[in-house]
A and B are shown apart, each in its own frame.
Chain A
Amino acid sequence: MSSRMLGLGFLSPAIIVVSLFFMLPVLLTIVFAFTNMSTATGIMGGAYQINSEQLRTLSDTGVSAETVEKLEAAGFQINEAGLVALADQFGQNTADELRDDYFGETFTARRDLERLLRNLDEPIRQTRDRKDAADLFTVTVIGERFGTEEQFRTALSETGIDAADHDTLITYGYTGWVWTTSNFELLLELPSTLRFAANSAFYVVCTLAFNISFGLFLAISTFYLPGRLANTYRAIWFLPRILPPVLYVLMWNWFTWDNGFIATVTGWFGVAPQNWMLQTTTRAWTTVILINGFVGASLGMILFSSAIKAIPTSMLYASEVDGANRWQQVRHIILPQMRWPILFMTSYQTLSLLTSFEYILLATDGGPGRATEVWALAAYHTALNNYGGNLQYGLGAAYALALVFIGIGLSVVYLRLFNFKELLAKPRIEQ
Chain B
Amino acid sequence: MKSLIRTSALIGTLAALAAPALAEDVTITVWAGGSNDGDSYRIEAIEIAADLLEREAAILGEDLNITVEGRRDFTGWEEFKQGITLGAEAGTAPSIVVTSHLDIAPWSQAGYIVAIEDYVDLDSWPLNNVYPNLMEIASYSGTQYGIPQDAESRPFFYWRETMTQIGYSEDEIDAIPDLVASGEYTLANVLADATKAVEMGIVEEGYGFYPRVSNGPDYAQFYQSFGGELIDPETRKLVLDKAAMTEFYQFFVDAVAAGVTRQNHLGTDWNQWYTEVANGRAAFWHGGTWHYGRYAKEGNDDFWGTIQFSLIPAGNENGRANTITHPLVYLVMDQEDDRIEEIASQLIAIATEPRLNSLHAIKSNHLAVAKAQNDVDLYRGNRWASEATEVLLASATAQPNHLQYGAFSEAMFRGLEAAWTGVQTPEEAVAEVEAQMRATIGEDLIVR
Contacts and interface: CB of A to CB of B under 8 A. Distances in A.
B111 A46 contact: yes
A109 B89 contact: no
Interface stretch (B6-14, B183-191, B379-387, B431-439): B431-439
A368 B266 contact: yes
Interface string A40-60: 111110110001111011001
B123 A111 contact: yes
Interface in A130-165: 130-131, 143, 145
Contacts of A190: 435-436, 439-440
Interface string B420-432: 1111100000001
Contacts of B124: 127
B271 interface: no
Given A57-B443, A367-B266, A368-B266, A386 B432 contact: no
A231 interface: no
Given A56-B235, A191-B436, A369-B417, A130 B106 contact: no
Interface in A364-417: 364-365, 367-371, 384-392
A368 B421 contact: yes
Interface string A212-247: 000000000000000000000000000000000000
B123, B264, B342, B419 interface centre (most CB from chain A within 10 Å): B264
Contact of A191 (B123, B144, B417, B432): B432
Interface residues of B, number: 68
Nearest to A39: B106
A388 B102 contact: yes
B420 A42 contact: no
Interface residues of A, number: 59
B410 interface: yes
A389 B439 contact: no
A89 interface: no
Contacts of A47: 111
Contact of A127 (B88, B120, B269, B443): B120
B405 A370 contact: no
Interface in A89-133: 109-111, 114-115, 118, 127-128, 130-131
A275 interface: yes
B66 interface: no
Contacts of A384: 78, 82
Contacts of B118: 131
Contacts of B215: 387
A186 interface: yes
Interface string B400-411: 000111111110
B121 A370 contact: no
Contacts of A274: 264
Nearest to A365: B267
Contact of B111 (A175, A189, A367, A371): A175
Contacts of B419: 369
A38 B106 contact: yes
Contacts of B205: 272
A124 B27 CA distance: 29
Interface stretch (B135-143, B168-176, B292-300, B311-319): B135-143
B421 A390 contact: no
A182 B121 CA distance: 43
B263 A390 contact: no
A53, A130, A278, A385 interface centre (most CB from chain B within 10 Å): A53
A278 B267 contact: yes
A370 B414 contact: yes
A279 interface: yes
B398 to A, nearest CB: 13
Given A111-B122, A127-B124, A390 B406 contact: yes
Contacts of B167: none
Contacts of B267: 278, 364-365, 367-368
A39 B89 contact: no
B100 interface: yes
B407 A389 contact: no
A306 interface: no
Interface string B242-281: 0000000000000000000011101111001000000000
B436 A389 contact: no
B109 A189 contact: no
Contacts of B413: 387
A319 interface: no
B439 A189 contact: yes
B132 interface: no
Contacts of A12: none
Given A275-B264, A279-B264, A389 B107 contact: yes
B216 A387 contact: yes
B420 A40 contact: no
Contacts of A51: 140-143
Contact of A42 (B112, B123, B236): B112
A369 B423 contact: yes
A171 interface: no
B192 interface: no
B51 interface: no
Nearest to A259: B272
A175 B109 contact: yes
B440 A52 contact: no
Contacts of B102: 387-389
Contacts of B418: 369-370
A388 B110 contact: no
Nearest to B118: A131
A144 to B, nearest CB: 10
Nearest to B114: A145
A281 interface: yes
Nearest to A382: B410
Contacts of A275: 262, 264
Contacts of A192: 432, 436
Interface string B153-185: 000000000000000000000000000000000
B138 to A, nearest CB: 14
A118 B124 CA distance: 10
A64 B443 CA distance: 21
A128 B105 CA distance: 25
A56, A368, A371 interface centre (most CB from chain B within 10 Å): A368
A60 to B, nearest CB: 8
Contacts of A60: 443
Nearest to B346: A127
Contacts of B123: 111, 114-115, 118
Q: Which 10 A-B pairs have the closest CB atoms?
A: A388-B406, A368-B421, A369-B423, A369-B421, A53-B141, A51-B141, A369-B418, A42-B110, A40-B106, A278-B264
11 contacts: A40-B110, A52-B141, A53-B236, A186-B440, A189-B435, A190-B440, A191-B435, A368-B263, A371-B421, A389-B81, A389-B103
Given A387-B413, A390-B105, 6 more contacts: A41-B109, A43-B89, A51-B143, A186-B440, A368-B421, A387-B215
